Chains A and B, each alone.
Chain A
Amino acid sequence: MVQDFQISERVKLSWSDTAELVGSSSVDEVGLRERVASLATRSIKRDSKLQALNMIVSMCDLTTLEGQDTDGKVSQMVAKAIRPDPNDSSVPSVAAVCVYPGLVETAKKETSGSEVLVASVSSYFPSGQAPLESKIHDTKYAISNGADEIDIVINRKAFLEGDYRRVFDEISALKEVCGEVHLKTILEVGELGTFDNIRKASMIAMSAGSDFIKTSTGKISAGASREACCIMAKAALDYRKLTGAIIGIKVAGGIKDSKDAIRYLVLIKEEIGEEWLDSTYFRFGASSLLNDVLRQIKKLKTGAYQDSYYFPRG
């Protein structure tokens, strides 16, 4: 089917190889749910909890994607991204900030000198209901303003109509535009309907050249779930076996609190391995999650809970 590739090469597959992967994608729903529920019984305490919380901070893409975003709002968020807890310098910076294309320039200016990356959504986020040319234009604009990472959405219209080839071709085209810029492809798992479909969409996105696959836009009520993350993770593991490439996973939308976030880390660790436990390969799309994590870190270190006004707005 596919030749062995060297691990350092980022590999795309041909459409015909991809079609085979898509065709054989099957997930048993009941079994998958049970596995995810069983992993949630892990008890993560003390040192392992603190380590997890710090990892989570470093994996956050602090996000604002609102019609009412302004330069001022983004500046505040970037400040928080760089130094989440002003009273505790041992708390790491987050991985990235995530904004609409029009705010990339500001974000880039504010993050300059720090390690924090700037990710921009594009491709007519969140619906993706537009012609490919528009999506390419959208993406080029974000990159020209300095975006380090691009988060696109798959064409759900095409996917649900069964036109997987179109889904694949669009992602390939957008990756071409991105070049070295990292491409995260949002599957919008809440709209895909079945677990089989999540696996199929994952295979298409990875084969077409995505550097990351991402669960959700955060704009519909059904966001990320540990089930979706597990399916995507297993797909990424299989893809790595096939091609040698490690594709990253990002979960976004509805990760309520630290407890939930830690469960995602447990899932990744046990289902696909510790290599993915790094911001290079795993991200949380977050806004309110970060403050809960900071509270939990403080509590572990001092023994007391803090109120939210101790932590700056972001």
Chain B
Amino acid sequence: MIEKWSYSDSVESREIVSLEDKYGHFIDGSFVSPKSKKYFDSISPSTEELLSQVSFGGEADVDNAVSSAREGFKTWQKVKPVERSKYLFKIARLIQERSREFAVLESMDGGKPIKESRDVDLPQVSANFFYFAGWADKLDISWGTDKLKPYGVAGQIIPWNFPLLMLAWKVAPALATGNSVVLKPAETTPLTALLFAEICAEAGLPDGVFNLVTGNGETGAFIVNHEDIDKIAFTGSTGVGKQIQSTLAGTGKGLTLELGGKAANIVYEDASIDQAVEGVVNGIFFNQGHVCCAGSRLLIQESIENEFIEKLERRMQQLRVGNPLDKNTDIGAINSKQQLNKITELVESGINDGGSIYQTECELPGNGFWFKPTLFTNVQPAYRIAREEIFGPVLTTITFRTPEEAVEIANNTEYGLSAGIWSEKGSKVLWTADNLDAGVIWSNTFNKFDPSSPFGGYKESGFGREGGRHGLLSYLKEEK
């Protein structure tokens, strides 16, 4: 595509990041070599270059981390609540001071555009620590009782789509409520978590309160199965979530799950169309669609379908795919080869099933993992692309005629994480919200997050909430 005026490269420098060749686990306040004696590669999905080698967490490493967390919990219990606050406020400040470094590293390790890691992820990360810091000394008024106590040692397993932000969503409330933590970041995105561990040491957080074990699914299983963990918090696929729930049956351990989604973004004919197009685009293409609450199903009222799709395709064509470190990039790399294969397979199934596909014209870089922004129309609700979570930059369109039909189609899924509603009629927005089985509903907006706003799903999208006053209950239980 020949442009009359094209943007020159504006690449953020990598110099601010200094990576070690190898990283240990962070246990009992310092970095230690893995007892497993094994390391694995962490690569950049946009260039496939090796960034660093991180430790593999075997059973002995997990055991080491949990013992440290158990002692850490005892230490943490003796720390006055207001002092817990101060540690978390300090961590928030330190992250803020190094946010550019974190943002660049996040984009290198995970593939997301620097524009997003800089403007969305990092501000939310420090805001989360700041917000939860302020709960530590007022848990007694949070739910009208002083009988709420921390679980003890919390095992936390987080995904690769918002590595540092998912860490903040887990660690901040856990520590604020008095728990200690063993955290396992995703296999493909361990680096910002390791930098975070450095911050904890710098903040003087007592040894054992925060522990980090890197690894893969096996490592996660060791954590879930460990006897001396009191609570598991997991964000990831519904498949694995179900396994964890099954494993924990009968153990008495606390559990919260934040799983997949297939959110409906409902556009009524009386929406402000241009803003709805913007919202739909943001809903599915933000973060390459690697978002559990992504608006991956466009439910469009038939009367405006043609006008809307035309505007949507035109808008999609403006999305810039490329180097995550270029400040003008909108769509970065797909996180891994594995994920790219999954997206490709599902898109092929959509074509075979009979859907019409539109993909934007763009040049994809030679190496790395990439996928063009994709739109399917003429889709039937039974197609796999209308039912399964793709977790990529692929939007599926389904039409409806009445509000009841919209709600019925929207709810016709085992998922229930989020939904979007676009209409200028307030009463219809509220009626629709009342009738949707989803834990987070955005009207005339999408993908808005705040530490004070509870997030979590209905049905097979998981249970428990993160964020806000309700998010505290994920880490506190009532003593008898």
Contact = CB atoms under 8 A, between A and B. Distances in A.
Direct contact of A and B (CB under 8 A): yes
Interface of A: 26-28, 30-32, 34-35, 41-49, 51-52, 55, 234, 265, 269-270, 274, 277
Contact of B119 (A28, A41, A52): A41
Contacts of A28: 272, 275, 424, 444
B178 interface: no
A274 B318 CA distance: 12
A241 B327 CA distance: 32
Nearest to B118: A41
Given A28-B444, A35-B278, A274-B5, 7 more contacts: A26-B424, A31-B275, A43-B10, A46-B8, A48-B5, A270-B318, A277-B5
Nearest to A37: B119
18 contacts: A27-B275, A28-B424, A30-B444, A31-B272, A31-B279, A31-B445, A32-B275, A35-B275, A42-B7, A42-B327, A43-B7, A44-B7, A48-B8, A49-B8, A52-B5, A55-B5, A270-B318, A274-B3
Contact of B274 (A27, A42, A46): A27
B10 A274 contact: no
Contacts of B270: 26
Nearest to B327: A43
A278 to B, nearest CB: 9
A217 to B, nearest CB: 26
B11 to A, nearest CB: 9
B6 interface: yes
Given A31-B445, A41-B119, A277 B278 contact: no
B5 A30 contact: no
Contacts of A269: 5
Contacts of A42: 7, 327-328
Contact of A27 (B6, B272, B279, B318): B272
A265 B5 contact: yes
A32 B272 CA distance: 10
A141 B328 CA distance: 49
By CB atoms of chain A within 10 A, which of B4, B274, B327 has the most? B274
Contacts of A46: 8
Nearest to B270: A26
Name the prevailing secondary structure of the A interface residues. helix
Interface in B431-448: 444-445
Contacts of B372: none
Contacts of B279: 31
Nearest to A278: B4
Nearest to B3: A274
Contacts of B7: 42-44, 48
Nearest to B278: A35
Interface in B84-143: 115, 119
Interface string B309-340: 00000000010000000011000000000000
Nearest to B318: A270
B278 A48 contact: no
A30 B445 contact: yes
A227 to B, nearest CB: 12
Given A26-B272, A28-B275, A55-B5, A45 B10 contact: yes
Contacts of A41: 115, 119, 327
Contact of B8 (A45, A55, A265, A274): A45
A180 B378 CA distance: 46
Contacts of A47: 8
A43 B325 CA distance: 12
A270 B319 CA distance: 9
A269 B7 CA distance: 11
B275 A51 contact: no
B256 to A, nearest CB: 31
Interface string B264-306: 0000001010110011000000000000000000000000000
A266 to B, nearest CB: 8
Contacts of A55: 5
**List of 4 A-B pairs having minimum Cβ-Cβ separation, nearest first:** A31-B275, A43-B10, A28-B275, A43-B327
Contacts of A45: 8-10
Contacts of B4: 274, 277
A34 B135 CA distance: 31
A31 B272 CA distance: 9
Interface in B216-266: none
Contacts of B9: 45
A269 B318 CA distance: 9
Given A55-B5, A270-B318, A277-B4, A31 B444 contact: yes
B445 A51 contact: no
A52 B3 CA distance: 13
Contact of A43 (B6, B275, B318, B328): B328
Interface in B1-34: 3-10
A47 B318 CA distance: 20
A35 B444 CA distance: 13
A93 B296 CA distance: 49
Contact of A234 (B5, B8, B274, B318): B274
